Structure 1
Amino acid sequence: MSKQFTVSVFPDNIDEIDYICECGTVNSKLPKPTSCILLIGGAEGETSGEDSATRWFLKRLDRGDYLVLRSPRIGRQATWICNHYRNFISSSAELAINSREAANHPQVMQYIRDADALFIAGGDQNDYEDFWEGSGIEEAINYLINQKKVPIAGTSAGMAILGDYYYAPAHQGVLSSEILNNPFHHNTKDIYYSDFIKVPIFKNVITDTHLNRIDKEHPEPRYGRLFGFLSRVVHEKGNQLPALGIGLEEGAFVAIDDKGIAQVFGNGTKEGQYAYFLQTNDAAPEQIKPGLPLIWNNNGQAVKVYKISGTPEGSGHFDLNNWSIASGGSWEYWFTTGGVCGFTQKPIDS
């Protein structure tokens, strides 16, 4: 039976916290979940890849309590889990937070700390940064990751904030052409550094999602954007290497086990559902200055990338402990000889 509470933290009775348990009851047997991470590129769409990745994730829950965390309002993820994967869980609930005051509410912190698996939903990562960073929610999430060590999943904005470095734009998200033609474009000012969610395996990693999306609101794919983000990370680190990145196309699911080994789920189609693992290749950008095109060439080898196409069965092997042991995919170099016009993704074997 569902239960719901709403807490108002302002005198004008604005609703700032919503919680609903869609099915089940809190597990009294103290399950023993296994630590893992599931990264989701967005636009899941109830596909075969999503089903396989979800089952992989929920098996590590040990029939515990599944919690969806989001902003600004309750969604349908917890209900979807109840409808399709009831045998994997003891309960499935959602918690929506809309203010920093709400993010420090004791009941909010307790609901998160009691979870045996946490799913951070998509939405606006700027809301997550504004409302959650430096709050009780941040403390509770990091407790789940580093002390309780439960399964953690993030899709779209929820994936973006799991990186050690993360992009949370307050205004319009930057386009690939904008950051490549000017790495300090005003839409890049909201790149944050190592001050939020602490996932040990993502040290020095920045993430991006929806890499292949093109529509009226997203006129360009995001491959160059992620490359540009990585250049900024290198710059902000004072050219200390390495800097790392993970980017997902829509419909790609990167499943990382408790040993730090990643595989990729997807629908096995010929286009889309690729996961990309980026690493700097011993050289900082040759030119990274405000108002000037990014030059990061290093003889056509600026960033080394391993890409894996997801399948319903799970494909590939990428070791996030060393970023070198890999199989089931292919290596390529990304570089730019000058801005977006010089940006190239080149297979190493070509």
Structure 2
Amino acid sequence: MGKQKDFEYSLTCGSPSSARSEPEPAILLIGGAEGGKSGEDAATKWFLEKARGGNYLAIRTGGVGKQASFISRNYRDYVHSAAELSIDSREAANSREVEDYIREADALFIAGGDQNLYQELWEGTRTEDAINYLINDKKAPVAGTSAGMAILGSYYYAPDHQGIISSEILDDPFHFNTQTIHKSDFIQVPFLSNVITDTHLDRINKRNPETRYGRILGLLARVIAADKNSLDNHAIGLEEGAFVAIDKTGIAKVFGNGTHRGQDAYFLSPNGALPEQMEPGWPLVWDNGGKAVKVYKIAGTPEGTGEFNLNDWATASGGHWEYWYTLGGKSGLRKKSS
């Protein structure tokens, strides 16, 4: 383990090899709080199999964590090596050594934490270049959980402090706490162009008094407005413990607990109509006869189930379609079956 220049690297098993393992491209989106959840084992194996016995690397800020150790203890046969890298300044993110650590990886896991820090410290650096090299040139599988998932969409929400809650964005889609919705060239992920993601959809606690289902609807409305009212924008929202596995053809399946109570995935597309009311200081009204946004919900299973085609955002199986809409901030999010 070494710490210098505001980065920390920890190798937990094996020795990184520069030999090309010929990994298979894949994306694994994780809704957060996944440790010990029903689909974690199968989803992790699905992801590691794409590395073809290569080098596994987890990246984060704030010091190395336990992700690489988790892989070393439980999935040693799937990887040549497992390591973790904490990148804690722009100087570190621009260092050749950090860039080389990332480029050597055959599977990359972006940990949870603070997506605002990821953007602030990594965007426009050698770290960003190395991540995009893995995804688009080396074709290595990449996973992200919580904040790590948030930055994989071409749009992402990176609040400077406590994130906006559903009632706030539905009451005012231009609420001051939405100014950190970004469209950038940060991470370039196939099949996630014009997509904004959100995680922890079902979390409720002292810091999160409301679920985030209404929030993701509001975020999608903001993305559409930012893109000159283009309806060619989408959203993916995951409950905690849900895993969306996207293969090299753009087909997604979902790992979860096999019930309709938690660990589900939602794929959102506007249903041909712009919001009827979308003005600063006024509640969001997006009705379209109760059919504003088409949403495909897949209740994942421990083995992985369902199919959703991210090439056309229409072909799907193993779940069900529903409509989401809102008649104004006080009414909140409304849902109905298609």
| Category of TM-score, reference length = shorter chain | over 0.9
Consecutive unaligned residues of structure 1, counting only runs of 5 or more, are: 9-15
**Structure 1 partner of 2:117:** 127
Corresponding position of 1:179: 169
Work out the CA distance in 1 between the residues paired with 2:2 and 2:63: 13
1:5 is the counterpart of 2:14: no
Q: Pick from 85, 88, 100: which aligns with 1:110?
A: 100
Post-superposition CA distance 1:207-263 (Å, at most 9, x none): 000000001111100000000000000100111121100000001000000000000
Structure 1 position 339, deviation (Å): 1.5
3-state SS, counterpart of residue 200 of structure 1: coil
User: CA deviation digits over 1:77-126, x for unaligned, max 9?
Assistant: 00000000000000000000111111101100111011101000000101
Cα shift at 1:300: 1.0
Paired position in structure 2 for 1:268: 258
Asked whether the equivalents of residues 157 and 180 of structure 2 are also in contact (C-alpha less than 8 Å), the reply is yes
Aligned match of 2:218 in 228, 232, 238?
228
Q: Counterparts of 2:331 and 2:128 in 1: how far apart (Å)?
A: 40
Specify the code of the residue in structure 2 equivalent to 1:165.
Answer: Y
Q: Is residue 24 from structure 1 mapped to residue 3 from structure 2 by the alignment?
A: no
Counting only pairs closer than 5 Å after superposition, residues 48-127 of structure 1 correspond to structure 2 as: 48-127=38-117
Whole-Å separation in 2 of the counterparts to 1:210 and 1:181: 21
Amino acid at match of 2:264: Y
Deviation beyond 4 Å, 4+ runs, structure 1:
none
What does residue range 248-287 of structure 1 map to in structure 2 within 5 Å? 248-287=238-277
Displacement after TM superposition at 1:342 (Å)? 4.3
Look up the SS of the partner of 1:322 in the other structure: coil
CA distance in 2, matches of 1:345, 1:69: 37
Q: What is the distance in 1 between the residues matched to 2:332 and 2:263?
A: 25
How much does 1:270 deviate? 4.0
The 2-side partners of 1:105 and 1:310 are apart by: 40
Count of residues in correspondence between the two structures = 338
Deviations 1:168-223 (A, max 9, x none): 00122000000000001111110001331111210110000000000111110000
Identity of paired residues, percent? 60
CA distance in 1, matches of 2:120, 2:332: 35
One-letter identity of the residue aligned with 2:315: I
| Shift in CA distance, 340/229, structure 1 to aligned 2, threshold 3 Å | farther
Q: How much does 1:337 deviate?
A: 1.0
1:173 maps to a residue whose letter is G
Q: How far off its partner does 1:48 sit? A: 3.1
Query: Counterpart of 2:37?
Result: 47
Structure 2 match to 1:313: 303
* RMSD (CA atoms): 1.0
Matches within 5 A, 1:303-342: 303-342=293-332
**Letter matched to residue 46 of structure 2:** W
State the shift of 1:163 in Å.
Answer: 0.4
- 1:202 alignment counterpart: 192
1:48 and 1:343 map into 2 onto residues whose CA distance is 28
The letter for the 2-side match of 1:222 is R
Match of 1:12 in 2: none
- Larger RCO (CA under 8 A, 6+ residues apart): 2
Q: Tell me how far apart the structure 2 counterparts of residues 333 and 269 of structure 1 sit (CA, whole Å).
A: 20
For 2:18 and 2:110, how far apart are their aligned partners in 1? Answer: 24
Q: 5+ unaligned residues in a row in structure 2: which ranges? A: none
Deviations 1:142-188 (A, max 9, x none): 11111111000000000000001000001220000000000011111
Cα distance in 2 between the residues matched to 1:126 and 1:293: 27
Residue 244 of structure 1 is matched in structure 2 by 234
Read off the aligned partner of 1:122 and give its amino acid letter: G
2:249, 2:297 → 1: CA distance?
20
Amino acid corresponding to residue 311 of structure 1 in structure 2 = T
Aligned: 1:189 with 2:179: yes
